[in-house]
Amino acid sequence: MKLFEYESKSLAQNLGINTPRGGLASTPDEARDIHKRIGGEVVIKAQVLVAGRGKAGGIKFGSKPEETRDRASEILSMTIKGEKVKKVLIEQKLNIKKELFGSIVLDRANKCQTVLASDQGGIDIEDVAKQNPEKILHHRLDPVFGMRGYDARQVGLKLGYTGQRLNSLTDLLSNLYRLSVIYDAELVESNPLVETNDGKFVTADLRVIVDDNSLFRHPEFQERAKEASGEVTPLEAKARENGLAFVELDGDIGIMGNGAGLVMATLDMVNHYGGKPANFCDVGGGANAEHVATALQIIQGDQKVSRIFINILAGITRCDEVAKGIVDVKKVVGLKKPLVVRMQGTNFEEGKRILNSIGITTLEKMDEAARLVVAMKVA
């Protein structure tokens, strides 16, 4: 789950990480009042979860409170990459000596966290990586010990710092790492990470992406995780609200399974036979009839779905519960899309009997079911 910049900086401030003085505004008048409180020149930044807000005009500057009100009004009327701007962050404009890039990223390939850093901050880091890959410093962290003082210091030295500024940068990097651990972050990134004229290091921008699988440990984010945004579609938001692991895709075959591995294998099998999945939907282990029914209604409510493939390998989840969920949907709202059901495992015979009673044939082989749903002719 991506956090808004203002949320990320609130977490940073709690850990003693330097951020610009500022405040959050939902209206132009609030933006003006924040400027009055801060004084000097300010930056007005759209709070959206999509990249490219600067290029889209979502970052502006104000030298006077009335100007800030006008610029905030302009930004609050914008939609950036499909996401309506509802809030703006008003922050003091920093006296910048140098712009750096600093990031703590989950490195799945190497099974550790890695520090990415560069003295070429403030621009698209992807461009730096392509044009001057030697400018990107990679420093892997020990998966057991994490970031030690030695690690942070090595990064600072390689960026060319010594003395007190090295100590300051070391402290900041160490705290960014702490933030990543405390909040189970897949990514903590500051671009630019600013060195000011008075020798301080400030996170002028800060991105944090929290691992969705850790949200049970972070109740403060759970409600927002259910909201639709530029990163979460209305369908995904509805599914999350009902406790489903759901990702919307661009195909036309609805997919439901129990267990992330099985669902991924189902997507691969459908692709192998020439079909295009419309979604990833994992009802999880131990799903009951109500949970299955909810998932099925969400999937068949997607206008682009033409048929649905339900693939269940029952263990804790029971085939008869899955079948009852399908029956419940038929009774309440009807089965609006053709179904192919493959089931194996616990209470298979009872599940098969229940579905046969409403005219649905179950298959036992996954590849056979995948071929059938792909070949199925739909109106």
Q: Which of 53-62, 69-78, 219-228, 233-242 has the lowest mean pLDDT?
A: 219-228
Q: Cβ(19)–Cβ(29) under 8 Å?
A: no
Residues 96-220, CATH architecture: 2-Layer Sandwich (3.30)
pLDDT at 197 over 70: yes
The per-residue pLDDT for range 108-142, each reduced to its tens digit, is 888 999 999 999 888 777 787 788 888 899 999 99
- pLDDT value at residue 124: 76
- Res 228: pLDDT: 53
User: What's the CATH class of domain 21-92?
Assistant: alpha beta
* Confidence (pLDDT) at 225: 65
Q: What is the reported pLDDT for 231? A: 63
Confidence of residue 287 (pLDDT cuts 50, 70, 90): confident
Sign of the C-alpha dihedral computed for residues 145, 147, 152 and 158 taken in this order: positive
Model confidence at 226, pLDDT cuts 50, 70, 90, reads low
CATH of domain 233-375: 3.40.50.261
Question: Which residue ranges make up each domain of the chain?
Answer: 21-92, 96-220, 233-375
- DSSP letters of 212-268? GGGGGG-HHHHHHHTS--SSS-HHHHHHHHTT-EEEE-SSSEEEEESSHHHHHHHHH
Percentage, residues of the chain above pLDDT 70: 98
Q: Determine the pLDDT at residue 272.
A: 97
Q: Write the DSSP symbol of residue 84.
A: E
> According to the model, what pLDDT value does residue 200 have?
94
Is the pLDDT at 171 greater than 80? The verdict is yes
User: In this predicted model, what pLDDT tens digit does every residue of 228-267 receive, in sequence order?
Assistant: 555 677 888 888 888 888 999 999 999 999 988 999 999 9
Quote the distance between the C-alpha of residue 10 and its chain's center: 18
Q: Among residues 120, 285, 93, 280, which one has the least CA distance to residue 191?
A: 120
Topology match between the domains 21-92 and 96-220: no
